[in-house]
Amino acid sequence: MKSTLVIISLLCSTLFISCNNLSLEEPSLERIEDVDIKEMNKDRIDMDALLIINNPNGIEVDLASADLEVLVDDIVIANIKQTVDATMPAKSEFKLPVNITLDLAKLYKSNPLSALSKGLQIMSYKKLEVQIKGNIKAGKGVAKLTVTVDQIEIVKF
């Protein structure tokens, strides 16, 4: 009985130490792909897209949420809030489907000429430079991460 208790204590201690030593590398937002414009007018653009997130860890990691802002010329024109539970495979890229509504009216109010320029850029070159800021929450078991995102992306339409 005493030896069984010692063995169970050793196993529990080993498991506890292993869990505490679990360290995760931060996943990273790599790019935006497969942008599909659903509706476009002078005030807004509704689109579906895929956020490509790289999981550098040797284990799959659970994606808890993504809370991101899309900025053009330092003006927040969209919010991306995803609370879907998903699992990112180990050492691979994960495609997170998102719906984005770009509020172009905010650009018009702030700087009409810049808004016109951005509209022409979208129509002529089928791309737009945006800044993405916010957080992605991920983890495995008790090991949780909040990944800060702050990067410039070229969105291709």
| Beta-bridge mates of residue 128 | 155
CA atoms of 5 and 127, how far apart (whole Å): 65
pLDDT tens digits, one per residue of 27-65: 999 999 999 989 988 788 899 999 999 999 999 999 988
Pick the CATH number of 23-156 from 3.40.50.2300, 3.30.930.10, 2.60.40.10, 2.40.50.140: 2.60.40.10
Dig out the tokens for 33 from the structure: 């792909």
pLDDT reported for residue 40: 85
CA atoms of 86 and 96, how far apart (whole Å): 9
- At residue 20, does pLDDT exceed 50? no
CA atoms of 142 and 46, how far apart (whole Å): 37
pTM over 0.85: no
Q: DSSP per residue over 98-152, as a string?
A: EEEEEEHHHHHHH-HHHHHHHHHHHHHHSEEEEEEEEEEEEEETTEEEEEEEEEE
C-alpha pair distances (Å), 85 with each of 88, 99, 116: 10, 16, 38
Q: What number of residues does the chain have?
A: 157
For the chain, the domains span 23-156
Which of the four pLDDT bands, split at 50, 70 and 90, describes residue 6? Answer: low
Q: Please tell me the number of Cα atoms within 13 Å of 84 on its side-chain side.
A: 10
* Portion of the chain with pLDDT greater than 90, in percent: 47
Which of the four pLDDT bands, split at 50, 70 and 90, describes residue 19? Answer: very low
